[in-house]
Amino acid sequence: MLTEAQTRILARLSEFSESLETAWDVPRSLSLPGLAESLGVVRSALHSPLSSLEKGDLVVTRSAHVIGGGSRRRTVVHITLKGRHELEESGYVSTATSGMSFGPVPEPVSVSGRVEEIDHITSSLSDGKSIILSGLPGIGKSTLASAVAESFSDKGWTIRWASCNIDSDVSSIGSMWLGGNAPSDPSAILSASSSARTLLILDESQELHPRHVGSVSDLLKEASSGPSPILVIVRAPSPFGTLGGFDDYRIGGLNNEAATSLLPGVDADSASEIIEALGGHPLAIRLWSPEEGIPERAEAIQEYVQSTVIRRLSAEGLSSLDELSLSPIPLEISEMEGEEGTLELDDSAVLRWKGESVEPHHLVRNVRRASWTGEKAAAMHSEAAERWSVIEGTRARRLEAHHRMERGDENDISWISENIKEIAENDSSAAAILLESAVNISEDASIRESAVNLALERGEVEIADSHITELPDGPSRKLLSARSARMRGRSSEADRLEQDAISALEPSERARASISSLVRLYDDRLPGTISKGLSETLSSRISEIDLSGLSQSDTEAAKLAIDLVRHGIALSSYDLSTASETRKSIERRLGQDNPRLVMLDIRSRLAARDQGMASQEAIEASRKVIEECDSPLDRIRIIHAALESCGESPPDWLVSAHSEASDMPLREDIAAFRRLSAQRWYWRGILEPNLRLSHWNEAISRFRKAECNNAANELATRLAKGL
């Protein structure tokens, strides 16, 4: 007859496919540390029951590579057919969850005790309340939240889980809650994610960088008034302070009976002494090793971690611990300088796994960091910066930048200036954090301008304004102030500031800024016929642009840009004659074989309408152009033009083409791309009416980031009328 421990082991192993028995790579949950972690026991507790199961041919062990675990093989365990049969005969019934889940929901872990806490939190959330769950590091907050989530999932609820690190912001939280291609605007995120029988969870909130705490706090406040309860997990003290609309719930250590279950195989008296010495702290108990004997009664868990857990590590283990503790984000083992010590850390229950990435448990990490002097930490960051500097890729640049900033050398500011765009293209949240650090150690105005530009691209007007006030007077400051004013909806003030700035620029810069302003004004509208007033304003602006200060090559480029705007005005006004004349001018500049002309021609065909719709031949011709187009950006533009020409019933192939194009990321640091992204969200709202509220909220937000107030206001009016 199976014991309780044996049944739990077999039940966990039975969740995995038989095909893994011969697989080259297997999940970490089948390794001894992973199995112990999921069962909520110390590693030594597996020895006796596993040995008995293996002798009875109910399980087999072998060496295999663990996914994300580095190159060394590890001992893994598989349940046999006899074991599955024995488990079934024992009366065990699988309790598979039924609700959908999104985000990095943790693997199910056996929870010791906490029945009262789980019942209280589950009941409160079921009643529509939102909760902030707090406690010491390692006390079991995430494990408790996972059990609560599993309870709701069993009832058919949808679970949306986000887990924070230093680079997390509102946009990344939305991506975890909703999956890929999620909106970034808080209202749009909540419109898409909040609904009845949905639980929103935000874990590791204390890891947020102060740069992003305010916006995440605003997201949570707005979410608390919606239909979905929210569970926020945070290490005390909370970075949010007091959050209105949330109930606080703090957990402490386990009682003696619950904690004893973490130490199977230890006699009752010894277990009681261990638990009392460690204050019932579950992580500290799992970090305990039988070789240590009974720990001394510690004044604080941190002292136990420092004096016992860290001290017993080998030199290799300490080296790996330092590398992981130094990193701002979890690392894959393959990214580390040496993986030798990670196996020891995993066997010692020091590591936390985030998918295929690892980091130390925050309790251990924080204790280790506190043991470094300022000089030692700076030297370690300097060494890490040098190591990452020879590794290619945007992730390496982000990590190199972090270590450069942490070593506090002002000479690194020029490096930040040169590399911040590459980092921002991949992760604007991380770039924003780095720039905040850079402006704190440097008076370089170009760094502060970069911080302003990035804040405006992210729609963080208040942060941008705080930096603008520190810039020296001049055209650059006025142009940035104009952008800020336009994003706040103060169009008249923005236009005045912009014109003042442009008039003070050098002739060549004045021409470029004038053309940029012209293109933005042309794009500041929703699809449809261009108004007579806007057409006249654009024509007037064109006549005022002075190109005399440009070189010959720049002059040709500027004239081409102006001709393209003229062509767009003519098509939007259904003035096909003027469009044809402008097309000839464009052909003279580009050459008759330039593929850009194909784009212009298909747009012209789509602009010819009968009762508001283009001909079927024109729409089919656009399909061929879309399928053969090499430029993803031109493809999106033609898709939008085709959608505009189809009326209310676009063909299925065009809807599918737009859906595929919606997955392509667009750079946020280029104004034209930001405007195209806003238009894409507009069309998503047209094509997906069930998500129109979320999609159009996102489109409005992105139009404002792109300084297109007219388009944003018009769409907001349409949305309000629709509601």
Same domain, 135 and 167: yes
- Give this prediction's pTM: 0.87
Q: What is the CATH number of the domain that holds 19?
A: 1.10.10.10
567-603 residue pLDDT tens: 999 988 888 888 999 999 999 999 988 888 999 999 9
Number of domains in the chain: 4
Residue position matching structure tokens 């593929």? 595
Answer yes or no: are the C-beta atoms of 576 and 604 closer than 8 Å: yes
CATH number for the domain including 230?
3.40.50.300
Q: Any residues with CB less than 8 A from the CB of 671 and at least 6 apart, and which?
A: 516, 520, 706, 707
More confident position, 44 or 317: 317
Do the bridges between strand 351-354 and strand 198-203 make them parallel or antiparallel, or are there none, so unpaired? unpaired
Same domain for 419 and 510, yes or no, is no
Given a cut of 90, whether residue 71 has pLDDT beyond it is no
User: Mind listing the pLDDT tens digit for each residue in 347-374?
Assistant: 889 999 888 899 999 999 999 999 999 9
Q: pLDDT (tens digit, 9 = 90+) per residue, 250-305? A: 999 999 988 888 887 788 888 898 888 888 999 988 888 887 778 777 557 888 89
Residue-level pLDDT at 178: 95
- Write the single-letter amino acid at 602: I
- Supply 337's token pair: 């300088």
Nearest CA to 424 out of 218, 674, 605 is that of 674
Q: 157 lies in a domain? A: yes
Q: Can you tell me the distance from the alpha carbon of 241 to that of 229, in angstroms, rounded to the nearest whole number?
A: 19
pLDDT value for 112: 81
User: What local confidence, expressed as pLDDT, does residue 298 receive?
Assistant: 58
User: Is residue 94's pLDDT more than 70?
Assistant: no
Residue 22 CA, distance from chain mean position: 35
Going from the C-alpha of 409 to that of each of 369, 381, 391, 416, 441, the distances in angstroms are 20, 11, 21, 11, 8
Which residues lie across from 134 on neighbouring strands? 234, 250
Percent of the chain with pLDDT over 70: 99
Question: The domain containing residue 428 runs over which residues?
Answer: 374-471
Contact of 360 with 368, CB cutoff 8 Å: yes
Is the domain of 142 the same as that of 48?
A: no
Structure tokens at 2: 């199976």
Within-domain flag for 543: yes
- Cis omega before residue 237 (within 30°)? yes
Q: 162 - beta bridge partners?
A: 202
Q: What is the mean pLDDT of residues 657-681?
A: 91
- Regarding whether 243 and 116 lie in a shared domain, the answer is yes
pLDDT tens figures, 3-13: 888 888 998 89
Q: What is the predicted pLDDT for the residue at 213?
A: 96
DSSP single-letter state for residue 644: H
User: Quick count: other Cβ atoms within 10 Å of Cβ 714?
Assistant: 17
Task: State residue 299's pLDDT score.
Answer: 59
- Report d(CA 621, CA 591) in Å as an integer: 22
Residue 96 in this model has a pLDDT that exceeds 70: no
For residues 686-692, give the mean pLDDT. 93
Q: Are residues 192 and 81 in the same domain?
A: no
Residue at a domain's end among 471, 487, 515: 471
Whether 44 maps to a domain, the answer reads yes
User: Does 383 share its domain with 520?
Assistant: no
Is the same domain home to 424 and 510? no
Which pLDDT value is given to residue 300?
76
The CA radius of gyration of the chain, in Å to the nearest whole number, is: 30
pLDDT at residue 108 greater than cutoff 80: no
pLDDT-derived band at 708, boundaries 50, 70, 90: very high
* CB-CB contact of 681 with 183 (8 Å): yes
Under a CB-based contact definition with an 8 Å cutoff, are residues 598 and 626 in contact? no
8 A C-beta contact, residue 341 and residue 316: yes
| 85 & 106 share domain | no
Single-letter code of the amino acid located at 658: H
Same domain for 195 and 221, yes or no, is: yes
Tell me which of 569, 594, 619 is where a domain ends.
594
**pLDDT computed for residue 37 by the predictor:** 84
440 or 321: which leads in pLDDT: 321
Kindly state the DSSP code that residue 45 receives in the 8-state scheme. G
Among candidate residues 594, 618, 644, the one where a domain is terminated: 594
Host H or E run for residue 201: strand 198-203
Does position 77 have pLDDT exceeding 90, yes or no?
yes
Distance of alpha carbon 27 from alpha carbon 366, whole angstroms = 28
Residue 437 lies in a domain: yes
Average pLDDT, the chain: 91
Judge if 444 and 387 occupy the same domain.
yes
In a domain, 620, yes or no: no
C-alpha distances in Å from residue 184, one per residue of 103, 211, 535, 677, 683: 16, 16, 32, 12, 17
Alpha helices, H only, 349-393: 362-370, 374-389
**In the structure, what pLDDT confidence band is assigned to residue 622 with cuts at 50, 70 and 90?**
very high
Say whether pLDDT at 723 is over 70.
no
- Both 186 and 57 in one domain: the answer is no
Is residue 706 in a domain? Answer: no
Q: Are residues 106 and 172 in the same domain?
A: yes
- Residue 572 in any domain: the answer is yes
Whether residue 411 is contained in a domain is answered as yes
Lowest-pLDDT range, 441-445, 619-623, 715-719?
441-445
| pLDDT per residue as tens digits for the range 542-568 | 999 999 888 988 999 999 999 999 999
pLDDT > 70? residue 201: yes
